[in-house]
A and B are shown apart, each in its own frame.
Chain A
Amino acid sequence: MGYVAVKGGTEAIEEACRLFAYQRIKGDSAPLEVAQIREQLYLAVDKAMGEGGLYAPDLAALALKQAAGDSLEASFMLRAFRATRQRLGTSLATDTSGMRIIRRISSAFKDIPGGQMLGATSDYTLRLLDFSLLADDEMRREAFRERIFRHLPSDLDIPRTFPKVIDILRREGLLAELPPRPAEDSPIPDLTRQPLVFPAPRAAKLQALARGETGGMLTLAYSSMRGYGDIHPTLGELRVGYLPLLIRHPISGETCRVGEVKVTEAEVLARMDGEGGMPRFSLGYGLCFGQNEIKAIAMAILDRSTRAAVPESPAENEEFVLYHIDGIEAMGFCNHWKLPHYVDFLSDLDRLRKSQELARNGRQREADHEQG
């Protein structure tokens, strides 16, 4: 069945869309509620929000439902939705030491001020299929909740802020100094409104990384840490938690808090940077929406690796990295090869046939020459 050029293509396309929607509902299972996806597949929701560049848990869950679980499609829908929204303003810069923390670890020091807080993580679970989940029900859940909360003291004193591990290293002069803080009203490039140019301003680079696709960033960061690069990262600190969303009140000018955003932040220390004759640790920074630790760590590594003076591997080349980590652009272009290329291909065929003809003629001439 031809799908565009041939007559009847429109109808075929409509039926294909309908069949896709039907595919999701043809079974006997109960319809999946958006709340179920938001609560029970929250890591998929977090990933879609990060890659889509829109913090909207309900919409991300809806996108996942509509895309039948395809994470690239889901983040694509979120980003497309975002493009229809008006930009109302810019939030104020927030110091992440004020994060309401749900998880916080350092692999640089055994004990850190404020303590290591493992939080909810699959890191230490055995990856064995849990067949008992086949019979998941409300009673089982109730019993599990009961086991967890029974021994929990109600008066736990949780600190409101946690000091940053890297600040301690910086105070001792072991870490490169922070660049001067930009003035509060200095403009920040917005990647959703302006194209990426090279060399990319750091704000644009971090935005591109924050919206990057987890798998693509992981691949590049892994190539760097495995051998195609020179970054030996130590995770100074990894935090997951909620950051207050602060804006300046449009009328009174006062700072007000309009909500909070769940983020993952990674600070990676990489060995010695000989600049200015004083060897130091340098910092790679990663921050993304939701709990997506692999992405935050990969981002921090790529932030650091792309600062190489002379790039020697793909992960050290800022342009290579920033142009290829955007999942939505990459998936769209990869999928576009399914579009008709009849005309282009015909042109290709023409050239190939001509070249073959020339090659054949050439060979014939050589043969004639030898015989003659």
Chain B
Amino acid sequence: MSRAEQTAPTPEQNSPAIDPGYPFAFMDEGAKREIRRALLKAVAIPGYQVPYGSREMPIARGWGTGGLQITLALILPEDVLKVIDQGCDGSVNAVNIKKFVAKVAGVTVTTDTREATLIQTRHRIPEERMTSNQILVLQVPYPEALREVEPSENETRRMHAEADYTRMWLHLYEDIVRYGEITISYRYPVTVAGRYITDPSPIPRWDVPKLHMADTLFLFGAGREKRIYAIPPHTEVIPLEFEDHPFRTEDFTGKRCARCGSDHSFLDEVIDDHSGARRYFCSDTGYCDKRRAGWNR
């Protein structure tokens, strides 16, 4: 049985009950207002990382506290919430976050991308194109795309301020010299609105084109690193590439989902048995379920 298919523990069983004395959406109003201000600034300067006073959440740092704070700062009682982890609605961490938010904000939850008004995600963008009435909140472990080439935060902020991206380009060039192609797999750096090089969060390369000229607002929250940034709708998002070494998404040629037959979605590789045989399944389980239910008849 996979983790994804496990019945997730209910907070009632494995965690203390949430005291009814907590405010709506758990965080105090001052904190929510601060986060909303950071979000407004982030939308006004696409791709720029806005520092903010990240609060402690009852889940551990690195488990989606940045995304969670954005979700809690934005959520309204009438919202419909979807939470996914690596594309999956049933993954334990996603279920945990979803139950927590549903409980403290009293909102309806769904697994249907189209039905949701607010989606919090880790490492995927849903397969179905999202609309202008929806917001996608992405959990971010490393907000700094330049971290690969420069460990110091002081220095990377200077590089961004001066748009000094030489070392990043050089890094890609050296990759090509060494391996014959750019070896960045996920977390593929992009240029947002022609200005900032931005980390799209660890989504696969497959999802990067979905950020370009989208109808949806993408909000990025890095709780541990205390940064918020945004890609507003209808914004140019270009992955870093060279003319002779274009950006390429993951190759699933000849493979299809063993469950719904999809040949056009991002696939998870599953080791089937002790012999090590492989099967493939849609990573976006909500999409897969929908296709199984005869969605595209």
Is the C-beta of B176 less than 8 angstroms from some C-beta in chain A? Answer: no
Q: Mark B84-95, 1 if CB is under 8 A from A, else 0.
A: 001010001100
Contact B4 A125 (CB under 8 A): no
Name which residue of chain A comes closest to B103, CB basis. Answer: A126
Q: Which residues of A contact B86 (CB under 8 A)?
A: 110
Is the C-beta of A29 less than 8 angstroms from some C-beta in chain B? Answer: no
- State in angstroms the CA–CA spacing of A118 and B7 once bound together: 11
- CB within 8 A of A118: which of B3, B16, B19, B88? B3
**CB-contacts of B173-221 with A (<8 A):** 178-179, 183, 185
- State in angstroms the CA–CA spacing of A128 and B100 once bound together: 11
Q: Which residues of B contact A168 (CB under 8 A)?
A: 271, 276
Q: How many whole Å from A249's CB to the nearest CB in chain B?
A: 33
Among A113, A124, A133, A172, max chain B CB count under 10 A is at A124
Name which residue of chain A comes closest to B1, CB basis. Answer: A115
- State in angstroms the CA–CA spacing of A130 and B151 once bound together: 39
- CB within 8 A of A272: which of B15, B18, B59, B183? B183
Is the C-beta of B269 less than 8 angstroms from some C-beta in chain A? Answer: yes
* B interface majority secondary structure: loop
Among B15, B100, B269, B272, max chain A CB count under 10 A is at B15
Contact A227 B144 (CB under 8 A): yes
Please judge, given known A-B contacts A113-B271, A168-B276, whether A125 and B1 are in contact too, CB under 8 Å: no
Is the C-beta of B23 less than 8 angstroms from some C-beta in chain A? Answer: no
Q: Which residues of B contact A9 (CB under 8 A)?
A: none
- State in angstroms the CA–CA spacing of A130 and B100 once bound together: 15
Is the C-beta of A109 less than 8 angstroms from some C-beta in chain B? Answer: yes
Contact A171 B269 (CB under 8 A): no
Is the C-beta of B162 less than 8 angstroms from some C-beta in chain A? Answer: no
Contact B276 A124 (CB under 8 A): no
- State in angstroms the CA–CA spacing of A133 and B147 once bound together: 43
Please judge, given known A-B contacts A109-B269, A274-B178, whether A116 and B2 are in contact too, CB under 8 Å: yes
Contact B3 A130 (CB under 8 A): no
- CB within 8 A of A227: which of B58, B59, B147? B147
Contact B6 A118 (CB under 8 A): yes
Q: Mark B1-28, 1 if CB is under 8 A from A, else 0.
A: 1111010110100111111000000000
Q: Count chain A residues whose beta carbon lies closer than 8 angstroms to a beta carbon of B.
A: 34
Q: Which residues of B contact A133 (CB under 8 A)?
A: 16
Q: Which residues of A contact B19 (CB under 8 A)?
A: 128, 131
Q: How many whole Å from B6's CB to the nearest CB in chain A?
A: 7
Contact B16 A113 (CB under 8 A): no
Q: Which residues of B contact A321 (CB under 8 A)?
A: none
- State in angstroms the CA–CA spacing of A185 and B100 once bound together: 55
- CB within 8 A of A172: which of B3, B96, B276? B276
* A interface majority secondary structure: loop
Is the C-beta of A370 less than 8 angstroms from some C-beta in chain B? Answer: no
Is the C-beta of B273 less than 8 angstroms from some C-beta in chain A? Answer: yes
- State in angstroms the CA–CA spacing of A112 and B276 once bound together: 9
Q: Which residues of B contact A171 (CB under 8 A)?
A: 276
Q: How many whole Å from B183's CB to the nearest CB in chain A?
A: 6
- CB within 8 A of A116: which of B3, B96, B151? B3
Q: Which residues of A contact B276 (CB under 8 A)?
A: 113, 168, 171-172
Q: Which residues of B contact A116 (CB under 8 A)?
A: 1-3, 6
**CB-contacts of A76-119 with B (<8 A):** 105, 109-113, 115-116, 118
**CB-contacts of B255-276 with A (<8 A):** 268-274, 276
Compute the total of residue contacts between A and B using a CB distance below 8 Å: 91
- State in angstroms the CA–CA spacing of A126 and B14 once bound together: 8
- State in angstroms the CA–CA spacing of A116 and B270 once bound together: 12
- State in angstroms the CA–CA spacing of A129 and B185 once bound together: 40
- State in angstroms the CA–CA spacing of A132 and B19 once bound together: 11
Contact B268 A128 (CB under 8 A): no
Name which residue of chain B comes closest to A228, CB basis. Answer: B151
- State in angstroms the CA–CA spacing of A123 and B2 once bound together: 17
Q: Which residues of A contact B2 (CB under 8 A)?
A: 110-111, 115-116
Is the C-beta of B60 less than 8 angstroms from some C-beta in chain A? Answer: yes
Contact A124 B8 (CB under 8 A): yes
- State in angstroms the CA–CA spacing of A111 and B283 once bound together: 12
Q: Which residues of B contact A111 (CB under 8 A)?
A: 2, 4, 270-272
Contact A129 B271 (CB under 8 A): no
Q: Mark A265-309, 1 if CB is under 8 A from B, else 0.
A: 000000110100001000000000000000000000000000000
Is the C-beta of A207 less than 8 angstroms from some C-beta in chain B? Answer: no
Name which residue of chain A comes closest to B87, CB basis. Answer: A110
Q: How many whole Å from B71's CB to the nearest CB in chain A?
A: 15
- State in angstroms the CA–CA spacing of A172 and B86 once bound together: 25
Contact A132 B3 (CB under 8 A): no
Contact A124 B58 (CB under 8 A): no
Q: How many whole Å from A106's CB to the nearest CB in chain B?
A: 9
- CB within 8 A of B268: which of A110, A115, A132? A110
- State in angstroms the CA–CA spacing of A133 and B14 once bound together: 13
Contact B16 A129 (CB under 8 A): yes
Is the C-beta of A163 less than 8 angstroms from some C-beta in chain B? Answer: yes
Please judge, given known A-B contacts A272-B183, A279-B179, whether A313 and B151 are in contact too, CB under 8 Å: yes
Contact B18 A128 (CB under 8 A): yes
Q: Which residues of B contact A129 (CB under 8 A)?
A: 16
Contact A274 B179 (CB under 8 A): yes
Q: Mark A137-175, 1 if CB is under 8 A from B, else 0.
A: 000000000000000000000000001010010011000
Contact B274 A126 (CB under 8 A): no
Q: Which residues of B contact A313 (CB under 8 A)?
A: 151
Contact B92 A128 (CB under 8 A): no
The 3 closest A-B pairs by CB, nearest first: A130-B16, A126-B15, A111-B2
Q: A109-B268, A110-B270, A125-B14 given. 14 additional CB < 8 A pairs? A: A115-B1, A115-B2, A125-B9, A126-B100, A128-B16, A128-B18, A128-B19, A171-B276, A227-B144, A228-B151, A229-B151, A274-B179, A279-B179, A313-B151
Please, could you name 8 A-B residue pairs with CB atoms under 8 Å apart, sorted by A?
A105-B3, A118-B3, A124-B93, A126-B16, A127-B58, A130-B15, A130-B16, A313-B151
